[in-house]
Chains A and B, each alone.
Chain A
Amino acid sequence: MGQIVVENLAKAFHIAERQAGLLGAIRGVVARKHREVRALDGVSFSLEAGELVGYIGPNGAGKSTTVKILSGILVPSAGRCEVIGRTPWKNRIEHVAHIGVVFGQRTQLWWDLPVIESFELLRDIYRVPQSDYIKHRDELIALLDLEKLLDSPVRQLSLGQRMRCDLAASLLHAPPILFLDEPTIGLDAVSKLAVRDFVKRLNRERGVTVILTTHDMDDIEALCTRVIVIGDGKILSDGTLADLRNRVTRERWLTVDLAEANGAIDDPDVTLIRREGQRVCMSFDPQRISPAALIGRITQKHAVHDLFVENPPIETIIAKLYAEGRG
């Protein structure tokens, strides 16, 4: 049996609806109409210890609802969920002592305190014995290169520095499971790499199970062996990243910055996606024409400033998954 087991998890919220018109507003004072929103609608998956899973989907798909349930913040309406044999919402305090959670947009450090003091307070909150604390702390300081940051108040740190400290803070009690909610959001490129590198080592070397929610496809590509895609509260896909791409679309995108102001690219193997001024973005199927051949052909015909090939953004893949699911 897995370390994390989720079976038929469902969560419905009741949202008060504002009614139209003056009469509606008056009626709303007396009796509000409620609309049921199913944030999760029968989600099941199972994770073994040591997996690193990307959990992705557009806003409102149910990502953070799942993470909140797994970390004991939210109680589901139906379904079963076990994390290391415990039901998160049954015994919150016992459960959260064995997990680490990082919310990308909020820090868990104390704003006015030097970082090291936040660490010491967390040691006391999590009841970490002093010897273990020193060991974990020193390892994390080395891995994340925190030595120079320890005496600064958190309010003086940059976003990237703060995220590194936050990662350390969530791991001082050496939890076997780490939930990362958008850990790279808003970070500069260097910090993103540092965070990814750290998460990878944590997973490969320590065997920490990591569930990562993100919008950044590069995070997923750099880190995850397995990707779960959620949309409208249902799991749309669960497998490796390559599986996901192959299942949904093989296409790649080519973006070209043309030298001429009104130039048009007319090639039988590409489909125009959009153009913004001199920038043209097109999709193509790499099995029909190799990227090298396509680039060669286009640079022959047009004066080009710059160009690059990329995977379609995750939004596109998910949009296609939706279309499939509904079609």
Chain B
Amino acid sequence: MNAIALYFRYIGLSLRGQIQYRASFIMQSLGHLLVTAIEFLGIWALFHRFGNLRGWKLAEVGMLYGLISMIFATADALAKGFDMFGDIVKAGDFDRLLVRPRSTVLQLLGQELTLKRVGRFLQGLIVFVWAIVSLPIDWTFAKVSLLLAAFVGGVCLFMGIVVIQATITFWTTETLEMMNAFTYGGEAASEYPLAIYRGWFRKFFLLIVPLGCANYLPAIAIMGRPDPLHTPQVVQWLSPLAGVVFLTIALQFWKIGVRHYTSTGS
């Protein structure tokens, strides 16, 4: 069985396990929807009071918000195995993955697909659909492709961050709370246009952890809106690649981490 087929085998089993507790699953998904939707309530209230955000309209911010919410919910559901990697190492369960003839990345991805994240995804989708319907976007095939690419690139980017978070565990044995700043914090920051932040903050989220490439740059290209940051159009259209590159680098780092683990055994 090849790696992809095996991945779907893993995921199928994980989903069946979660559906066993159906009532709890529905409650948790709804809860997730509710808790994350209040973020947008806050955005709406701020627009209601101030009218605009440095020239941005609510629907434009809604598009950024919806896109990043869907991206984050998906990445969060996919990378659960890496997210709880600290516990896996502490329990000594990583050894078990190492004595199986498959890549550790595949086995960790196969650990769980967290179904309840669907709540967050849904509220992101609702806001997103509302936003693109209210905005005057002339959709072309290229723009739809860019949107899909942005989604995939963004998911790769967040997964890359979680992989790095897991890799650091090889050295610290504790999951660093600090990484929450880049996952949850990065998501929160990306709900607003990158242009409203200070220069150092923008540079960090464009060049080091390129979250701006996940939703801000592609969304500008799709809306056909002038960018207050004056990024060239080529960069906007190529921005989804940043996530893929980031994940590739993160996986190289992961390999170094595994090598460190096998030489120290913690």
* Chain A residues with a Cβ under 8 A of chain B: 13-14, 65, 68, 71-75, 89, 92-94, 96-97, 99, 101, 103, 106, 108, 110, 112-113, 117, 121, 124-127
Instruction: Provide the bound-state CA to CA distance between A152 and B173, in Å.
Output: 34
Q: Does B23 contact A (CB under 8 A)?
A: no
Closest to A14 in B: B264
Query: Are B101 and A13 neighbours in the complex by a CB distance under 8 Å?
Result: no
Q: A121-B13, A124-B6, A127-B1 are in contact. Are A72 and B98 (CB under 8 A)?
A: yes
Query: Are B9 and A121 neighbours in the complex by a CB distance under 8 Å?
Result: yes
CB within 8 A of A106: which of B93, B259, B263, B264? Answer: B93
Q: Does B140 contact A (CB under 8 A)?
A: no
* Chain B residues with a Cβ under 8 A of chain A: 1, 5-6, 9-10, 13, 17, 20, 91-93, 95-96, 98-103, 259, 262-265
Query: Are B101 and A73 neighbours in the complex by a CB distance under 8 Å?
Result: no
Query: Are B6 and A96 neighbours in the complex by a CB distance under 8 Å?
Result: no
The interface residues of chain B lying within 8 Å CB-to-CB of A14 are 264
Q: A73-B265, A112-B17 are in contact. Are A101 and B6 (CB under 8 A)?
A: no
Task: Tally inter-chain residue pairs, CB-CB below 8 A.
Answer: 64
Query: Are A125 and B99 neighbours in the complex by a CB distance under 8 Å?
Result: no
Query: Are B13 and A75 neighbours in the complex by a CB distance under 8 Å?
Result: no
Query: Are A65 and B100 neighbours in the complex by a CB distance under 8 Å?
Result: no
> B106 → chain A, closest Cβ, in Å?
9
Instruction: Provide the bound-state CA to CA distance between A113 and B15, in Å.
Output: 11
CB within 8 A of A121: which of B10, B20, B101, B264? Answer: B10
Query: Are B99 and A73 neighbours in the complex by a CB distance under 8 Å?
Result: yes
Query: Are A126 and B101 neighbours in the complex by a CB distance under 8 Å?
Result: yes
The interface residues of chain B lying within 8 Å CB-to-CB of A126 are 100-101
Q: A93-B103, A117-B13, A124-B1 are in contact. Are A75 and B98 (CB under 8 A)?
A: no
Query: Are B265 and A74 neighbours in the complex by a CB distance under 8 Å?
Result: yes
28 cross-chain CB contacts under 8 A: A13-B264, A65-B265, A68-B95, A68-B265, A73-B95, A73-B99, A74-B262, A74-B265, A75-B259, A89-B262, A92-B98, A93-B101, A96-B100, A96-B101, A101-B99, A103-B95, A106-B91, A106-B93, A110-B13, A110-B17, A113-B13, A121-B13, A124-B1, A124-B6, A124-B9, A125-B6, A127-B1, A127-B101
Instruction: Provide the bound-state CA to CA distance between A110 and B12, in Å.
Output: 13
Instruction: Provide the bound-state CA to CA distance between A92 and B103, in Å.
Output: 9
The interface residues of chain B lying within 8 Å CB-to-CB of A117 are 13
Query: Are A125 and B95 neighbours in the complex by a CB distance under 8 Å?
Result: no
Closest to B111 in A: A110
The interface residues of chain A lying within 8 Å CB-to-CB of B6 are 124-125
Query: Are A75 and B96 neighbours in the complex by a CB distance under 8 Å?
Result: no
Closest to A179 in B: B99
Instruction: Provide the bound-state CA to CA distance between A36 and B10, in Å.
Output: 41
> A166 → chain B, closest Cβ, in Å?
11
The interface residues of chain A lying within 8 Å CB-to-CB of B5 are 124
The interface residues of chain A lying within 8 Å CB-to-CB of B10 are 121
The interface residues of chain B lying within 8 Å CB-to-CB of A89 are 262
Instruction: Provide the bound-state CA to CA distance between A99 and B92, in Å.
Output: 19
> B263 → chain A, closest Cβ, in Å?
5
